[in-house]
Copies of this chain bind each other. A is one copy, B any other.
């Protein structure tokens, strides 16, 4: 027989597996991919990230910096301020697993949407049936 699941099954994993790390972050995956070809500036990153607000972008970048995935460098020109964000070796090592995850999503996104739609339709049908008197379920609608 198949072995039962053990209580310490995930003990060697970090707590909650992927969640505390950047796989679960809404923007992190995108930011990391933006930095794939080299350092980028703050305002440069805002372009592909659509309608991300500066607050959220700052927070995401700080969080990635804290985890050692990228570095933040302030370049002082005489009049302007430049800040560049660049992947560390640790950050680079994440590119491949991230790309694989993104590829899976891209490949199966349609299937996922279809499944959701079908599920929601079934739920609506069930609820409609439950709202009818017991003997009348699946009967022809009267109006």
Q: Which residues of A contact B (CB under 8 A)?
A: 2-10, 12-14, 16-19, 21, 23-27, 29-30, 34, 37-38, 40, 44-45, 47-50, 65-69, 90, 93-94, 97, 100-106, 108-109, 111-112, 114-116, 118-120
Contacts and interface: CB of A to CB of B under 8 A. Distances in A.
A34 B116 CA distance: 22
Given A37-B2, A109-B14, A23 B68 contact: no
A93 B104 contact: yes
Given A19-B26, A23-B24, A102-B13, A3 B37 contact: yes
A121 to B, nearest CB: 11
Given A7-B47, A19-B29, 10 more contacts: A5-B44, A9-B34, A17-B105, A19-B24, A19-B26, A23-B23, A67-B116, A68-B115, A68-B116, A90-B112
Contact of A6 (B48, B68, B94): B48
A105 B21 contact: yes
A47 to B, nearest CB: 5
A1 to B, nearest CB: 10
Contacts of A119: 65-66, 68
A21 to B, nearest CB: 5
A17 B69 CA distance: 19
A96 to B, nearest CB: 8
